[in-house]
Amino acid sequence: MTLQFDNSYARLPDRFYVRQAPVPVSRPALIRVNRPLAELLGIDPGWLESDEGVGVIAGNRVPDGAEPIATVYAGHQFGSWNPRLGDGRAILLGEVVGGDGERYDIQLKGSGITPFSRMGDGRAPLGPVLREYLVSEAMAALGIPTSRTLAAVTSGEDVYRETRLPGGVLVRVAKSHIRIGTLQYFASVDDLDGLELLVEHVIARHYPDVADADNPALALLERVVARQAALVASWQCVGFIHGVMNTDNMLLSGETIDYGPCAFMDAYDSAAVYSSIDHGGRYAYRNQPGIAQWNLACLAQTLLPLLDEDEKRATELAQAAIEAFPDLFYAAYFEGLQRKFGLTGAHDGDDTLMQDFLDLLQRTGSDFSLAFRRLGELVADRQEVTEVFDFADAFADWLERYRARCAQETDDAAARGARMLATNPAFIARNHLVEKAIAQGYDGDFEFFHRLNERLAKPFEFDLSDADLARPPAPDEVVQQTFCGT
Ligand code: AMP
Ligand code: MG
């Protein structure tokens, strides 16, 4: 089996990366290959599962055509500037063009020390590997732009964090790994040529239609702003909390990346924050749109020299692009909510009706995902998640108002209900389930991990035999904190 690599990033000048082979591990063992994704990439899943394939996943074997590199970037972490980050525990093997015609990075994560590892060991404990596999694939199945997971192995080696933990390696796939922080790096070292080259590369790769714009850098900024607004709106609509929205964790392609201390909310709480390192709640659920805009302002700052020769004019252009964010976000969010509620056409009072529902969820501590799922079932005249969730009495008046509003819809209620059930998942990557898969994985048992992964691939199909994967956590199962675990 040969992979058809075409490594456009490795063709950029060598100050963009360091050539670095992955560091082999002693006894790699396969956990899982994502067969449908392998097929999309034109990689034979059977080969990936073979000894040779497992060697590639583990970083023990560099496939022909790969040009392994660790890329350089910088970034704002929790608002503080860090001038040099870079791939400290990841190696970009190269790029392949998928059956969909799209170009994809194939990256190993947990693959050993690089010149960017600083104090780190370049490795990943098994827990974060399993979490990223489950959550990134759950996000993909929800239709949210995201990096994907192609495969994961255990390394046969221990890593040392607070305790000794078995290690793992994950193969991450993304349309690119170019971050706001990548541009920030070149701007911060006054490498204007590098900045221009990178902008050209990003445009060619992700926004080819802006190449001919009068002001391509400005058009790029506007497009990234729009994609991030849509992305964060889609997070809000499924109750996803990223947890570490640093500028080095925001991709210019508009895909979700860096599944560290992320979590889906169970009970709705607009102030929810899970990350153990997010003390001030900077990255709380309700702050995500504002933080995205903050990060985009950092992006705009780096692009200033390319926006206009006149500094004042450049600043005005950047400002206008960034100020477009709140409206773009709100429009996408409102549209997403309308789909969740099965409402079409923005009628007067829709925003209040929808906000009142969220307020009720908050007040009653109701499960965010299942409440919407149940709403879809009411419209579709079905009774499925009632096994695990139903509305409290406090919803009676609101449900009356909702029925009255639904009566104004002109389409067939069954079709509308079906659409709602295709938009409101019954199954999300709940924290307590992810933790259970991780705990069992640390004991060498991946059965629950596989089961959960397969269930989350079909989040909109309720199945009573998987009711235990749909229900909210019991009080003693609620996970209060998530850890980066890097
Ligand atoms: P993250 O918090 O995952 O976004 O990572 C922030 C920075 O720390 C990046 O430059 C990573 O490459 C680096 N890093 C995280 N974990 C490790 C590790 N175990 N070894 C080396 N570098 C790491
Ligand atoms: Mg990161």
Per residue in 15-26, pLDDT (tens digit) is 999 999 999 999
Residues paired with residue 96 on neighbouring β-strands, in sequence order: 5, 104
Q: How far is 45 from 28, CA to CA, in rounded Å?
A: 17
Choose among 128, 133, 109, 135: nearest CA to 166: 128
**In this predicted structure, what is the pLDDT of residue 99?**
93
Average pLDDT, the chain: 97
**23 close to ligand 1 (CB < 6 Angstrom):** no
Nearest protein CA to atom 23 of ligand 1, as residue: 88
Phi and psi of 186, rounded to 5°?
A: -65, -35
- Please give the Cα distance from 33 to 18 (Å, whole number): 28
- Which tokens belong to 295? 């990060």
Question: What is the C-alpha R_g of the chain?
Answer: 23
3-state secondary structure of 471: coil
Which residue lies with its CA nearest to atom 7 of ligand 1? 85
Distance CA 283, CA 429 (A): 19
SS3 477: helix
SS (H, E, C) 421-432: HCCCCCCCCCHH
Distance CA(63)–CA(53), nearest Å, equals 9
Mean pLDDT throughout 124-141? Answer: 98
Binding site membership of 122 for ligand 1 (Cβ less than 6 Å): yes
Q: Is 248 a catalytic residue?
A: yes
User: Whole-angstrom Cα distance, residue 482 to residue 303?
Assistant: 34
How many C-beta atoms lie closer than 10 Å to residue 394's C-beta? 11
Strand, coil or helix: what is 92?
strand
Which of these is catalytic: 248, 258, 278, 367?
248
Angle between helices 325-341 and 368-380 (to 10 degrees): 50
Q: What is the mean pLDDT of residues 417-426?
A: 98
For ligand 1, the distance from its centroid to the CA atom of residue 476, given in whole angstroms, is 32
- The per-residue pLDDT for 484 is 67
Rounded distance from Cα 38 to ligand 1 centre (Å): 26
CA distance 38 to 35: 5
C-alpha span between 257 and 248 (Å, rounded): 10
By alpha-carbon position, which residue is closest to atom 14 of ligand 1?
88
pTM of the model: 0.98
Residue 324's SS3 state is coil
Atom of ligand 1 nearest to the CA of 124: 19
Alpha-carbon distance of 206 to 194, in angstroms, equals 18
Q: What is residue 346's predicted lDDT score, i.e. its pLDDT?
A: 87
What element of type H or E holds 158? strand 148-160
Q: Which ligand is nearest to the CA of 179?
A: 2
Q: How many CB atoms lie within 10 A of CB 390?
A: 14
- Measured from the Cβ of residue 62, the count of other Cβ atoms closer than 10 Å reads 17
User: Is it the case that residue 485 has pLDDT exceeding 70?
Assistant: no
Helix (H, G, I), strand (E, B) or coil at 464: helix
Across the strands, what pairs with 108?
91, 171
d(CA 432, CA 473): 7
**Which residue, chain included where needed, has tokens 């456009």?**
8
pLDDT for the residue 240: 98
pLDDT, residue 482, reads: 83
pLDDT higher than threshold 90 for residue 480: no
| Other Cβ atoms within 10 Å of 429 Cβ, number | 29
Structure tokens at 354: 């929808």
How far is 198 from 356, CA to CA, in rounded Å?
45
Q: Which pLDDT score, from 0 to 100, does residue 483 have?
A: 77
Whole-angstrom distance, CA of residue 175 vs CA of residue 396: 46
Check if the beta carbon of residue 256 is closer than 8 Å to that of residue 139. yes
pLDDT at 377 over 80: yes
Give residue-wise pLDDT tens across range 30-56. Answer: 999 999 999 999 999 999 999 999 999
Q: What is the mean pLDDT of residues 66-75?
A: 98
Q: Does the beta carbon of 127 sit less than 6 angstroms from any atom of ligand 1?
A: no
Residue nearest to atom 11 of ligand 1 (CA): 88
Q: What are the contacts of 445-448 at 24+ separation with CB within 8 A?
A: 446/31, 446/32
Q: What is the pLDDT of residue 486?
A: 60
% of the chain residues with pLDDT over 90? 97
Three-state SS at 391:
coil
- Site to substitute for ligand 1 among 69, 85, 89, most atoms within 8 A of C-beta: 89
CB 57 within 8 A of CB 73: no
Strand 90-97 to 103-109 pairing: antiparallel
Cβ–Cβ under 8 Å, residues 259 and 134: no
Q: Is 90 exceeded by the pLDDT of residue 284?
A: yes
- Which helix H or strand E contains 225, and what residues bound it? helix 216-238
Residue 116 has pLDDT above 90, yes or no: yes
